[in-house]
Copies of this chain bind each other. A is one copy, B any other.
Amino acid sequence: MVDTASRTENPAAEANVAPVPGKAADAPVPAPPAQRPTESRIDVEALGRQLLGTWADIRLEARARAASPELQRIEGQTMAEHRERVLGQLKLLVDSGAVQKAFPKSLGGQDDHGGNIAAFEELVIADPSLQIKSGVQWGLFGAAVLHLGTAKHHEKYLPAIMNLDVPGAFAMTETGHGSDVASIGTTATYDETTEEFVIHTPFRGAWKDYLGNAALHGKDAVVFAQLITKGVNHGVHAFYVHLRDADGEFLPGVGGEDDGLKGGLNGIDNGRLHFTDVRIPRENLLNRYGDVAADGTYSSPIESPGRRFFTMLGTLVQGRVSLDGASTSAAAMALTIAITYGTQRRQFNGASEVDEEVLLDYQRHQRRLLPRLATVYAQTFAHDEFLVKFDAVFSGKAASDADREDLETIAAALKPLSTWHALDTLQEAREACGGAGFLAENRLVGLRQDLDIYVTFEGDNNVLLQLVAKRLLTDYSKQFKGAGFGALARYAVGQTADKAFHGSGLRRLGQNLADLGSTARSVSELRDADTQHALLADRVETMIAEVAGRLNEARKLPKVEAAAVFNRNQNELIEAGRAHGELLQWEAFTRGLEAVTDPGTKRVLTWVRDLFGLGLVERHLAWYLVNGRLSPQRAQALSAYIDRLLERLRPHALDLVNAFGYTDEHLRAKIASGAELERQDEARAYYAEQRRAGTLPVPEKSLKGKKQR
């Protein structure tokens, strides 16, 4: 493995590139940041505090814990060693009282749902395997007992779950059904003669799969199965099932397999489970939302089977909340590493004959890292609002059906964006650090491997975004309830940018955008928050209205053809879901910005918000042009302004990552430790001394130049 980029780099410099100014063509740069006017400075400490959000102290405590080596990943461990280590770390968390927050006070918990997630997310700093294995034990297995069970289950099972006496699996996903839980094949058939449920796996595709704790450590499991009684299938319900005896051997009727090595998260023992007529007492049905009497009569507080299913699964939204937060943290760490390195690492001579240029002074390097940094800022603010909403719903402070639905939609919109962004950012950071980025000692590759699965678990990202769009379609159609389909169709056809509509996630436009593309307003307008908002909101609304119009026309078609019409709009629908998520992030960033009081911080952070907002517009520029929302001239001005923002933000890049507040114990990346700066300083001192002493060999090239003169 070698890095030989410049094999042809220098030759190009002398390949007589006519329009390029001399040597500077190689790798030119603006004046170094130290010499630039930087009248605005960030108050790093105050900003850092704001970024920690609503549960700042809990996060700081959790970060202090994550700085402890005993909770951290050891690179290069075998899968078996890593699994054992993480299990041991879970016990350490129990001992330090770190995992009980979300459980009832009556059982030693604190009923603190938001604080619990905040603390849990920070574990990603120590080891994502630790975060996710904790999530399996307490966020899924334990939470299922808590939210789907009733008092008898809480008393019976939760203490041993909380203290890890009983590690358990959350047995929902099947080999044959990942994203479509309603169609799982496992059955729980009630036998009224013995008052038992018979848990059964009817075919290979119905094996439970990818379950943390299933391969080795799980003693019990919450198993999701089709509840069948008196010949009727009442849909998916959860059952408490014993898996293994005291020696760790499977109980009769239970079987399974190890999922083996994975692309990451190898500290977790994922595995498969199957059940052959395993009998469990009737009481093992977690019966909060559906129960079966001794005689086999089914009852539920929720009439509609669909709504019941929705409600049961909705209690488990915290997985998505925590992935949003952890992904944002991982991206923030990646950028802290890459930007720190980028301000120390030098490569190629630019304007100076003597010193090489710092990587982050190159425009391309700024383009690669700074917009991603702006996105992390947006995500950080959005995540805190998301967590506040989650806490309100789960604490009961604001837990109406509408609140729950909004929470679901926010989760489905934000989790895909932040998990994808984490992978994208970790990869860009790794590439921006070159070969050093590929070494495990610099953390980036390990984090990326672990976070890879975040984009498809707890809801495949594409499926989630489609869900968001369907919700927007529903909201959209509600406006026209009773107006008849004709009115809707006409509205959709005539939909233009200045038509605003309400909706759970949609916001009314503050201004008429219709002429934005045609008038010759200045770039300064793009800096206007209302303009940015209008551009982003208009896109969501227009996309939804257009798809709604097309779907509405298909209503009268036969089922197969109507389905085909929906399918032909699927890609655009998913993109509309993404656009909605981007809008939510922008709005949260803007609200966060309003809370900033220090003028210097506010100025710089406004540039960051503008970079985020205008970066979104630039990413979707073709849409804005095709739909006449921006003129070609304004589109060019927008890209040019983004380049100016990058130059403005360059001197603040280090402050912006330092505000995330990660210490060397969190980052644990050698290239971000200052070692690179030491190396660069040593090299420059070496050459300076040689120049001073007159011992630096003369370059052949300059010698020839002299001869010619």
Contacts and interface: CB of A to CB of B under 8 A. Distances in A.
A642 B478 CA distance: 33
A693 interface: no
Contact of A699 (B4, B233, B455): B233
A176 interface: yes
Per DSSP, chain A at the interface is helix
A28 B567 contact: yes
10 contacts: A1-B132, A21-B562, A173-B435, A203-B686, A205-B682, A210-B438, A262-B445, A434-B456, A445-B452, A626-B636
B562 A28 contact: yes
A262 to B, nearest CB: 5
Nearest to A290: B700
Given A2-B173, A9-B467, A21-B555, 10 more contacts: A1-B453, A2-B319, A3-B172, A4-B458, A6-B177, A17-B473, A18-B480, A20-B566, A263-B430, A568-B643
A181 B4 contact: yes
Which 10 residue pairs across A and B have the least CB separation, nearest first? A28-B563, A263-B445, A18-B477, A7-B313, A11-B310, A5-B179, A21-B562, A621-B622, A24-B563, A261-B440
A261 B304 contact: no
A39 B12 CA distance: 51
Q: How many copies does the complex hold?
A: 2
Contacts of A423: 427
B263 A438 contact: yes
Contacts of A18: 473-474, 477-478, 480-481, 488, 552
A14 B180 contact: no
Contacts of A305: 699-701, 704
Contact of A683 (B21, B205, B319, B554): B205
Interface in A422-458: 423, 427, 430-431, 434-441, 444-446, 448-449, 452-453, 455-458
Interface stretch (A245-253, A343-351, A518-526): A343-351
B562 A24 contact: yes
A471 interface: yes
Interface residues of A, number: 185
B567 A29 contact: yes
B31 A560 contact: yes
Interface centre among A7, A476, A560, A562 (most CB of B within 10 A): A7
Contacts of A594: none
A691 interface: no
A433 to B, nearest CB: 9
A158 interface: no
Contact of A25 (B351, B361, B566): B566
Contacts of A226: 697
A182 interface: yes
